[in-house]
Chain A
Amino acid sequence: MDFEFLEGCEAIAEAAVRAGCRFFAGYPITPQTEVPEYMSRRMPEVGGIFLQGESEIAAINMVYGAGASGVYAMTSSSSIGIALKTEGISYLAAARIPAVILNFQRGGPGIGNITASQSDYWQCVKGPGSGGHRCMVFSPSTIQECVDIMGMAFEKAFRDRNPVFVLLDGSIGNIKEPVKLPDMKPVPDKDAFDWCLSGCEGRAPRQLLPILPEDPSKFAEHATEMYARWQKEDVLVAEDLPDDAEVIVTAYGTAGRIAGACVKRLRKEGLKIGMIRPLTVSPFPIASFRKLDAGSTRLIIDVEMAKPAQMVEDVRLAVNGRIRVEALEIPGGIIPTDEDVYEGITGIIKGVNENGA
């Protein structure tokens, strides 16, 4: 059989290995401990290294070292664990060292709970560390999408020499779905990276330091250009936009799959409804919202497992006041049922119809 039946955490970890990941440093935290567990067994099989740090901060700094040497390196954590890692992530961005970071969001703030949540959109998209840097952030909805994205996550991280997030949650990590894994790719040749610390015998030494050069504008200009290029070249989005759509639903990750099933049901019931499901939330699919015809589309409903909603701010910026935007907010730490989202969306539409714009 060409499909395997795997848990999200396992499938994602295996997809990383097949993409060429040969260094993993982590620290246990629910709901992602299955990732380090899998890597502890798998890394030695492929000649890679697994390390459990003494803390999240230790793990991200181990990734800093591995990435600096030109190895596809990854770490994984959840919400509060990512908060601890942000110091190291900021260092990676400043030193221009690539890495992939998985964030299995759980309910928060504080220790919160161990259930799925989308309360850390801001954390990954807006503030992945001090100093105002950005990371590319992938936002898959199904295990298959996660697996398909892993190769790309490493490629973009190394192309840009910048840390990349895959924004997940406790649900996608713990469900099982049939998945088609990618083929095993060869490990990239370090010599292809003219910046990495691979031993300087016979060449000038290199440095990768998390400090700004003498002229700070150099880093800022490079980074700003990079972020602008992402917006032009790297947006991934699943659009389901019928010409006559009056209502557009938008959601990412687990909320995206639930809202997607709900949109299909509502369309069967005769509603003129479409969907914009970002697969990258940084860069955000601005163009998908800009091209909506305000003459036919009168309402956008953003569905998030976060209250107050977070991505909705980027939706509003993209729409720029042309179309009404409402949010269906499910508090982080609760996985809504299909019925919850159906009732929420139909409730918002009913409210807007009754009270007008």
Chain B
Amino acid sequence: MEHKILIAGFGGQGVLLMGQLLCYGAFAERKKVLMLPSYGGQQRGGTSNCTVIISDEDIGSPSVRHYDTIVAMNEPSYKLFRKSLKSGGHILVNSSLVKVTRAMDENAVSVPISELSREAGSEKTANIVMLGALAAECGMVGKAFVQEAVKQLLGRKKPDMLGCNLDALDAGYSVIEKTHGKE
């Protein structure tokens, strides 16, 4: 099994952090992992994206023709990368900034990260809501490993935020569970 993911947004939305956390979870579970961040020529506020490949076997190219799952944190990312989605794959969109519904794009899954992160206690956890949705969607990493990655990487720096972050992660998981439950 191999799952190829693109996470895209603008600088400051936690695109690289999401990739990093998912990778930590995956390799703690002894999966093969590769991450290719792309922010080279980009400026603050510009677009930033990263490719994450999680596999049971040795990983080949970091360059990907079609992704199994794409995360679009803003409208330009949705427009730019929609064509790179594998047929049958899902594009998870930040519903606050990407006005695309299931009716308009049957491969799109709206994730209300702003609302859900507020419910979790802080809008700063918006990217962790999306991480939960992404981890659930990709299905390659056990939830306990993703939780552990959040604890290890974020818990140490901001222990007071850990509860919010774990709630945010749960909220993201339930969006995907509900969405796919309906199908």
- Which chain A residues have a beta carbon within 8 Å of chain B's beta carbons? 1, 3, 5, 30, 114, 171, 174-178, 254, 257-262, 264, 335-341
Contacts and interface: CB of A to CB of B under 8 A. Distances in A.
A254 B36 CA distance: 13
A171 B62 contact: yes
B24 interface: yes
B37 interface: yes
Contacts of B35: 5, 175-177
A335 to B, nearest CB: 4
A5 B34 contact: no
Contacts of A3: 27
A338 B61 contact: yes
A30 B63 CA distance: 18
B62 A178 contact: no
Interface string B41-63: 00000000000000001111111
Contact of A262 (B33, B37, B40, B60): B60
Given A5-B27, A30-B40, A175-B35, A335 B62 contact: yes
Given A114-B40, A175-B36, A335 B61 contact: yes
A171 B62 CA distance: 8
A3 B64 CA distance: 25
Contacts of B64: 337
B168 interface: no
7 contacts: A171-B62, A174-B36, A174-B37, A175-B36, A176-B23, A257-B59, A338-B60
B63 A5 contact: no
A331 to B, nearest CB: 14
Interface in B1-37: 20, 23-24, 27-28, 33-37
Given A174-B36, A176-B35, A1 B61 contact: no
B28 A1 contact: yes
Given A5-B23, A337-B65, A339-B65, A176 B60 contact: no
Contacts of B40: 30, 114
Given A335-B63, A339-B65, A176 B34 contact: yes
Contacts of A259: 60
Given A5-B23, A176-B23, A339-B65, A257 B36 contact: no
Contacts of B27: 3, 5, 178
A341 B34 contact: no
A257 B37 contact: no
B27 to A, nearest CB: 4
A147 B182 CA distance: 48
A332 to B, nearest CB: 14
Contacts of B65: 337-340
A258 to B, nearest CB: 4
Contacts of A177: 33-35
A261 B59 contact: yes
A254 B64 CA distance: 14
B36 A260 contact: no
Contacts of A261: 57-61
Given A257-B61, A258-B61, 18 more contacts: A5-B24, A5-B33, A114-B40, A171-B63, A174-B36, A174-B37, A176-B36, A178-B27, A178-B33, A257-B59, A258-B60, A260-B60, A261-B57, A261-B60, A336-B61, A336-B63, A338-B60, A338-B61
